[in-house]
Amino acid sequence: MRTICFYFQVHQPFRLKPYRFFEIGDDHDYWDDYSNRNIMNKVAKKCYLPMNQLLLELIHKFQGKFKVCFSLSGCILDQMEAYAPEVLRSFQELVDTGHVELLNETYSHSLCALKSESEFKHMVQLHQEKIKHHFKGYEPKVFRNTELIYSDSIGEMVAGMGFDGILSEGAKHILGWKSPNFVYVNAHEPKLKVLLKNFRLSDDIAFRFGEKTWSDYPLTTDKFIGWLNQVPQEDEVINLFMDYETFGEHQWKETGIFEFMRHLPEAVLNRTNFGFSTPSEVIANASPVGKINVPIPISWADEERDLTAWLGNDLQDEAFDRLFELEASVKRSSNPEIQRDWLYLQTSDHFYYMCTKFFSDGDIHAYFSPYESPYEAFINYMNVLSDFILRLKQDEKERIAS
């Protein structure tokens, strides 16, 4: 079997509004509805709607020989419900073709797998329920953790929840001489299959496509097909994993990204010995070649492929630790607004905005952040968290009094 597995991450965070110190205790509305609505509608127009339409056309044109998979965070589904129901309908139409796979993940794109197994399982269950609700009882069999964060222990938890496979990054420091173009198994639970991103070919599309200083610019279908045909014949699967916003948002329409994608499936099917598969199909049809040992968590972020995009400095660690100190109190609360805010405050983007790495990847971090500096992001988040703590204490008092 020689196949290509396209995976797209679809996520938008609920962004915090500017929240000042003197508002603590008075203002319990943390979310920037204006920005969230505008950004959702902008990305829907530039990416989600045109790309979904293109994929639908390609699936019909090739009668199911072209396939893709998505993970849609609970945050993006909530925003589709609130701001862009037509986008949700377009994803439902794609899934209805039977040639699009959906993956499970944490509801709010959380880093909880690094901190709390109970919260991790809770987040996954919430996401499962959300997917079932919107996609006719659909039950994903493959998991994708936030930002492809993976380790042996995270894989164990995922296997324990009954998943057949998990996606992760084909990090050089983990693979060594091995190739990402095979199926592996978790080091502790061999029943869990591990699919690894081919980061070079994925990032050629996701990051370098419109980069005019890149030595291989412009990336054409012919050039990409040439690279695929250079892949050793024994390699079984090319995992092309990327943000869905690559199409039209990170790489603008003017770069030719949509036309590249429009012509790629036909070129692959006619000029290579590759086909297309979903993750479940890869897992079912390819035999694992061995275990992949990942004792320390990896991710798909930055040159290091580690956790330092989110938990790499004192600001991030302080905010993350303070947040999860509240888990037990939140679990005791039945207040739906507290539960909602707890979910959204866990979103990894908040910690990403606090990143102080300004070396190889600083420009990427600055592109995604709505703040002037990581320190501003930290202060704003901690002000919100201070108010959230006061609400939890008041909720506890009222519960005891009743």
Domain boundaries, the chain: 3-292, 314-401
283-286: list long-range contacts, CB under 8 Å, 24+ apart.
283/142, 283/164, 283/165, 283/183, 283/193, 283/195, 285/1, 285/3, 286/1, 286/182, 286/183, 286/236, 286/237
Residue 223 in 3-state DSSP?
Answer: helix
What mean pLDDT comes out for the span 74-81?
Answer: 98
Q: How many CA atoms lie within 13 A of 340 on its CB side?
A: 10
What mean pLDDT comes out for the span 314-338?
Answer: 97
- Is the model's pLDDT at 270 over the cut of 60? yes
Taking only the tens place, the pLDDT of each residue in 241-256 is 999 999 999 999 999 9
Q: What is the per-residue pLDDT for 367?
A: 55
Q: Is 23 a catalytic residue?
A: no
Taking only the tens place, the pLDDT of each residue in 21-54 is 999 999 999 999 999 999 999 999 999 999 999 9
Its CATH class, for the domain covering 3-292, is alpha beta
- Is the model's pLDDT at 366 over the cut of 80? no
Q: What is the per-residue pLDDT for 124?
A: 98
- Is the model's pLDDT at 186 over the cut of 90? yes
Beta bridge pairs of residue 10: 72
- Is 304 within 8 Å of 346 (Cβ atoms)? no
Taking only the tens place, the pLDDT of each residue in 189-224 is 999 999 999 999 999 999 999 999 999 999 999 999
- Is the model's pLDDT at 60 over the cut of 90? yes
Q: What is the per-residue pLDDT for 303?
A: 84
Q: What is the per-residue pLDDT for 360?
A: 42
Q: How far apart are CA 103 and CA 161, in angstroms?
A: 14
Q: Which residues have a Cβ under 8 Å from the Cβ of 384 and sit 6 or more positions away?
A: 16, 19, 30, 345
Q: Which amino acid is at 142?
A: V
- Is the model's pLDDT at 358 over the cut of 90? no
Identify the active-site residue in 147, 169, 236, 281: 147
- Is 43 within 8 Å of 75 (Cβ atoms)? no
Q: What percent of the chain has pLDDT over 90?
A: 94
Residue 189 backbone dihedrals phi, psi, to 5 degrees: -130, 85
Q: What is the per-residue pLDDT for 79?
A: 98
What does pTM read for this prediction?
0.95
If one compares 303 and 380, the residue with the highest pLDDT of the two is 380
